[in-house]
Amino acid sequence: MSFDQQKRDNLTRADKSIKNSIDERIRGIVEFLNSLPTYFTTSSCSGRVMLLERKKSWKKDSRLAYREHEKADFEGLKKSISYIPWGDIIFKMESAIFHVCCRTVEDAQKLLQAVRDAGLKRTGIINIGRRVVVEILGTEFLEAPVAIQGELVASDEYLKILINEANKRLEQNHKRLTALEEALKRRLLPLGEK
């Protein structure tokens, strides 16, 4: 299947994310990349704070107990752990992530340079088989257990510390997203459109 057909199929397919839409904070980046003839996004997230309940394995037996793409708040987070399952609850702050298909390896290299200009160093080509895919990943992360085997291990004070630190990192992530959008437009817009 040609790159153009893959792009058309991907952009007309229903959104399969839990949220079922693009995060507003990254809408400009996603729409810009998708407007270019050499790129399209397959998945994206602006970054988030969450509580993840897990029983045995991360993938099969886990669910989100709390999720916030902007600032997390203590009351909302605390309410979501009023019931603790048998398993673990993990507090996580994750940075922005994008998966971008590129027409050629050369296009991927141009994208990588723009992303690195914005200070996002955890970025690379993750596939060059059937299609060329670049993963763009922020650098701000935080992870800590809140409950282990159904037992709460984090006090309210510790939860507030985690939330405060996660919100600081999320704010830094948001600043990098602004820099990313500027760098992408600076590097990838055709000369006549700048």
CATH number at residue 96: 3.30.1960.10
**Domain interval for residue 110:** 3-189
Q: What pLDDT is attached to residue 13?
A: 80
Q: Is residue 111 part of a domain?
A: yes
Give the global pTM: 0.87
C-beta separation of 18 from 50 below 8 A: no
Closest CA to 172 of 92, 71, 98, 100: 71
Mean pLDDT of 41-52: 94
**Regarding predicted confidence, which is higher, 1 or 103?**
103
Q: What is the mean pLDDT of the chain?
A: 89
Using pLDDT thresholds of 50, 70 and 90, give the confidence band for residue 192.
very low
Q: Is residue 97 part of a domain?
A: yes
Q: Is residue 7 part of a domain?
A: yes
Q: Is residue 112 part of a domain?
A: yes
Sign of CA dihedral 13, 14, 20, 25: positive
Q: Is residue 138 part of a domain?
A: yes
Closest CA to 41 of 56, 51, 26, 52: 26
Q: What pLDDT is attached to residue 1?
A: 81
Q: Is residue 194 part of a domain?
A: no
| Interval 130-189: pLDDT, tens | 899 999 999 999 999 999 988 899 999 999 999 999 999 999 999 999 999 999 999 998
Using pLDDT thresholds of 50, 70 and 90, give the confidence band for residue 128.
confident
Q: Is residue 12 part of a domain?
A: yes
Q: Is residue 74 part of a domain?
A: yes
What domain count does the chain have? 1
